[in-house]
Chains A and B, each alone.
Chain A
Amino acid sequence: MTIFWMVIVSILVLPIILFLAVAFSPKLLDQGPEWFTFNSFKAAADPYFVRSIWHSFVMGVVSSILATAIALGVAWIVLRTNSAARKVWNLAIFALLLAPSYLIALGWERIFERAGVLNIAGIDLPFVRDLLYGPVGIAMILTFKGIPFAYLVISNAMRGLGEEFEQAVRVHGGSRIAAFKMMATLLLPALWSGIAIVFAESISDFGVASQLSSPGRYSVATFTLYKSVMSIPVSFPLCAAISIILLMLIVVALLAQSRALRGRSFRVLSGRTRPITRQKLSPLGSIASNVTIYVLLILTLGVPVFGAISASMIQGLGTVISNYQINFDNYIRVIKSPLLRTPLLFSAEAALMTATVAVILAAISSRMLVSTKNGPGKKFLDFFLLAAVGLPGIVFAIGYIFAYNLPLAQKYGFHLYGTVALLVLAYIATALPSTTRSLVGNMNQFQESLSEACRVHGSNGIKTWLTVVLPLISRPLLAAWCLTYCGTLLELPVSQILYPPGHAPLAVGIDHALGNYDFGGGTAMEVFAIISALIVVAIAFGLYEKLAPLGWKQLGRARS
């Protein structure tokens, strides 16, 4: 356990604390003359920063409300009706969850940009382009990215909500709309959670900001933060102050959520809850629900995928040459050119390491979090994992630069700044909070008596873990590994800020290619990356199905 705590403190706690502390006390870490000051916050009050923070706030509010409203409608169609499109949605939701926001934004850009796919096809829509590179485009992509998060929260709550509440409305004279309102009211905790989660995701998002935000047009806080840390000289106290303000916004959202629900009971799930019967839609309702789902899928996944694939197959995209050709040359280039191929291989290796280590640490952390022993260690871990979930990836990355570039770190032999090791450590640290949270639910279902039974029947702690705990959570562990792998493979903010010279990760490689107007090469890398991620996931689950003992595989399966 000592090693575990050393790892947690060095990769999670120290970078966060040191970096945020410098906003108040620059002298503490040689970043200014004052021991305690609010000067950095005064600097953050510059209209340029205030405007970008305000923009972030507005984007967060708009996208969180829109995403939650859309997710509520989709959840109702998927869980409460016999709409045929519901099966497609269940598959698509995971693709949407895996796709980083910058890839969705890139797909839209490739279609609508000047000399983009539509342009080449002879269609020019400048007003759509103007909308895309501004608040409407940013809010739209953030909403798309927020929908799966809100959907997962709302659908889980809706599954536990029996239909008797709606039936009670109907038999007492209420209309269908009144019944839907009743259901929405009972789902308020989930709706508020959805809003809070999407708000936090949107505020901390860097992917959309990196593609669609710009100082001249519509700057958001994460983009401003990135620009500040890339400028010379870097003012870490100022960056820390902006980060604290961003964090405060997320805290305010969480407080608003808890205040809205305070003193009200929504405990509707009981042993007497009856399973729901799907509502049979009328032919018109059926068409409407299918159209809704398919249009949503086209907008969220179809357009970006089409944008990426079409762009990757067009030679000369983004240039003013006139004889565009459609072929696979860009893919061949990716395979042959080390400039394009190396980032993919590098990120695959880093993702492999990150996913493996993060899942091991997350398994231990989640077990500690659900432990009945309420010690200080558990509270400490809980606080920092929660804080890290709310911390934008870009802030994390800046915290890493700061903490591991300090003279103190150098003095004690931590020469990690600018190394692959630091990048991977940062990947692990950013992946750990969400991976841990994804495992907490499964760990919570694990009855303590199962491991106690191991101990009293002759197994020590390690054997208990190996023979009972791990098998029982093997599938969730595998899912967590795959999610972490895919997330790291396509990770942008930490990669952008911490990549060591000569080791550009995939997201940076794509960004460089696009920055050099090699749109075909960049998008071909995107497509390769996604296909490679899908292959890895397929291999992982395939191996599990092939090699795991029958008992492991039959856990949680529905009876036939």
Chain B
Amino acid sequence: MSNGHLVKIKGARKNYGSLAALDGLSLTIEPGQFMVLLGPSGSGKSTLIRSLAGIEKIDSGSIFLDNQEVNRGPINVAPEKRNLAMVFQDYALWPHLSAFENVEYALQRRKLGKDASRKRVETALERVGLSTKGRNYPHELSGGEQQRVALARAIVADPALLLFDEPLSNLDADLRERLRIEISTLTREIGATALYITHDQSEAFALADKIGVINHGKLEQVDLPEEIYERPTNRFVANFTGIAGTFTGKVKRVSKTSCVVSLGEDQLKVRHTVGLEVGQGVDILIRPAATSFNRDSTNSLAATITDVAYRGRGYEHAIATKYGSLTGVFDTVSHPRGGRISVSIDPDRCIAFPTETK
């Protein structure tokens, strides 16, 4: 049984001058669920998380935590009364307090005895692997250690809602991956509801029970990670969750879930998620996983290798076709720059959307 908040946001709007940071956004997060909001800079994800924390106030709409309305009109429950914790992008560790004191601070609201409090802090620091660093001040810790202290501070009081504001964006790739695993396991251990915002799609897919893709203050799609990847409901979602390239063509034949698109001299079979008509102009968004150098495929195009990059487990190639370029075409062996090759396209992993009229 989860002890997390049920989070409901209904029609939230927030403007900064003429700019709408939140544009009637609605979202429900089930108790104990790990929700990741994925979106580009300026999409409104920070405003949303800060409104949930109570640091910002929405202009209209309402926010409920466990069916208690915490923000609507003049109602604005103070952040300290929302039973939540937050991990900040810049860590926000108080520089005048040691690591131990930073973590202990968040426990004050629980009003535990001195011994019980010390034990909880020690356990939290141990859980993030910093049991020997309690006496250190923030400036005496590395970036990764500082973020771990922030994580310990967030979990120590067993809050009902954990908010993560791009907590890994300031760390190097290796550390990011290790801390991502810690965040994932620790959050699920304490059973809190979690809302994590990021612009990094790999981070989102790795962490989330559910992903919400946000753009211009609106949710474009909320779904399971697999659904978001396999069945993006619109071009923005597909684009933002990773593509190797885009080709433009016309629909030649169409069935319920797939269609054949004429690119000129060549044709490609692809999937579609919205209704298409024969003759309609479409853009084909191709996932990196859709591409390979499989010579036997019938769904393929002639290409020239323009670049090759070694990635440890193999090679990623950039290629040029008559209809556009593709990146991230993987093979276990390297193909020389300038070489002619046939690139095959998996129809299930590329999606056609009607061409946007400008």
Which positions in A face B, CB cutoff 8 Å?
447, 449-450, 452-461, 467-468, 471-472, 549, 551-552, 554-555, 559
Once bound together, how far apart are the Cα atoms of A456 and B163, in whole Å? 10
Q: Which of A449, A455, A461, A472 contacts B95 (CB 8 A)?
A: A472
B182 to chain A, nearest CB (A): 19
Question: In this assembly, does B80 line the interface, its C-beta being within 8 Å of a C-beta of chain A?
Answer: yes
State the 8 A-B residue pairs at the shortest beta-carbon distance, nearest first. Answer: A458-B109, A551-B96, A455-B79, A449-B92, A457-B106, A453-B92, A456-B86, A471-B96
Given A459-B105, A551-B96, output 14 extra A-B contacts at Cβ < 8 Å: A447-B90, A450-B92, A452-B50, A452-B55, A456-B53, A458-B108, A459-B80, A459-B108, A468-B96, A471-B96, A549-B96, A552-B96, A554-B137, A559-B139
Once bound together, how far apart are the Cα atoms of A205 and B22, in whole Å? 53
Once bound together, how far apart are the Cα atoms of A448 and B180, in whole Å? 25
B97 and A551 contact, CB distance less than 8 A: yes
A459 partner residues in chain B, CB cutoff 8 A: 80, 105, 108-109
Once bound together, how far apart are the Cα atoms of A549 and B96, in whole Å? 8
Q: Which of A452, A458, A468, A555 contacts B106 (CB 8 A)?
A: A458
B157 and A458 contact, CB distance less than 8 A: yes
With A449-B88, A450-B92 already in contact, the answer to whether A551 and B80 are too (CB < 8 A) is no
Most chain A CB neighbours (cut-off 10 Å) among B55, B92, B97: B92
B25-59 with Cβ < 8 A to chain A: 50, 53-55
Count the A-B residue pairs with Cβ separation under 8 angstroms: how many? 80
A456 and B97 contact, CB distance less than 8 A: no
Question: In this assembly, does B78 line the interface, its C-beta being within 8 Å of a C-beta of chain A?
Answer: yes
Question: In this assembly, does B147 line the interface, its C-beta being within 8 Å of a C-beta of chain A?
Answer: no
Question: In this assembly, does B94 line the interface, its C-beta being within 8 Å of a C-beta of chain A?
Answer: yes
A452 partner residues in chain B, CB cutoff 8 A: 50, 53, 55, 79, 86, 88, 92
B169 to chain A, nearest CB (A): 14
Question: In this assembly, does B98 line the interface, its C-beta being within 8 Å of a C-beta of chain A?
Answer: yes
Chain A residue, CB-CB nearest to B106: A457
A456 and B95 contact, CB distance less than 8 A: no
B53 partner residues in chain A, CB cutoff 8 A: 452, 455-456
Most chain A CB neighbours (cut-off 10 Å) among B55, B79, B105, B109: B79
B101 and A551 contact, CB distance less than 8 A: yes
B98 and A455 contact, CB distance less than 8 A: no
A449 and B85 contact, CB distance less than 8 A: no
B125 partner residues in chain A, CB cutoff 8 A: none
A453 partner residues in chain B, CB cutoff 8 A: 86, 88, 92-94, 153
A551 and B79 contact, CB distance less than 8 A: no
B96 and A455 contact, CB distance less than 8 A: no
Q: Which of B50, B78, B96, B153 contacts A457 (CB 8 A)?
A: B153
B78 and A460 contact, CB distance less than 8 A: yes
Once bound together, how far apart are the Cα atoms of A450 and B95, in whole Å? 9
B80 and A450 contact, CB distance less than 8 A: no
B326 partner residues in chain A, CB cutoff 8 A: none
A450 partner residues in chain B, CB cutoff 8 A: 92, 94
Q: How would residues 72 to 83 of chain B score, 1 for a CB under 8 Å from any chain A CB and 0 otherwise?
A: 000000111010
Once bound together, how far apart are the Cα atoms of A559 and B137, in whole Å? 12
Once bound together, how far apart are the Cα atoms of A447 and B153, in whole Å? 18
